[in-house]
Amino acid sequence: MTASSGRALRLTVVVGENDTWKHRPLYSEIVHRAHAAGLAGASVFRGIEGFGASSLIHTSRLLSLGEDLPVAVVIVDTAPRVRAFLPQLGELVTDGLVTVDECEVIRYAGPGDRPGTPDTEGEKSP
């Protein structure tokens, strides 16, 4: 059963898996700050191949090139909450890619969710 749906923003931060912030993996710092900011959720995806500004191709297929693979942190929440979080990324991400795009959210009810809870637009779901 669908608990809520509506328009939202998807924030994607692509960094290297070896990037750090004060001796902690950068992707982990982003996730913990998103949690502290009360964002709806964050997921980290490890890439298997990619290149960025350095033009070096990183791949998991070759042992010698399997270092510093791309990592994407994806966060989806309402536009005001995502936009309020962006200044923290400016502090953290010095070498990486940050994208923000609109998306439609369809969230399925979990064990603690109730049908008819407010969606991202503030209206009741069917």
The reported pLDDT for the residue numbered 12 is 98
The reported pLDDT for the residue numbered 121 is 45
Cα separation of 65 and 117, whole Å?
Answer: 47
Helices 26-36 and 79-92: crossing angle in degrees, nearest 10, is: 140
Element (H, E) at 34: helix 26-36
**Would the pLDDT of 100 be above 90?**
yes
Structure confidence at residue 107 as a pLDDT band (50, 70, 90): confident
For the segment 19-72, what is each residue's pLDDT rounded down to a tens digit?
A: 999 999 999 999 999 999 999 999 999 988 877 776 666 666 555 545 778 899
The reported pLDDT for the residue numbered 90 is 92
For the segment 108-121, what is each residue's pLDDT rounded down to a tens digit?
A: 655 565 554 444 44
Structure confidence at residue 104 as a pLDDT band (50, 70, 90): very high
Antiparallel, parallel or unpaired: β 97-108 and 70-77: unpaired
* Cα angle: 31, vertex 35, 36; to 5 degrees: 120
pTM over 0.85: no
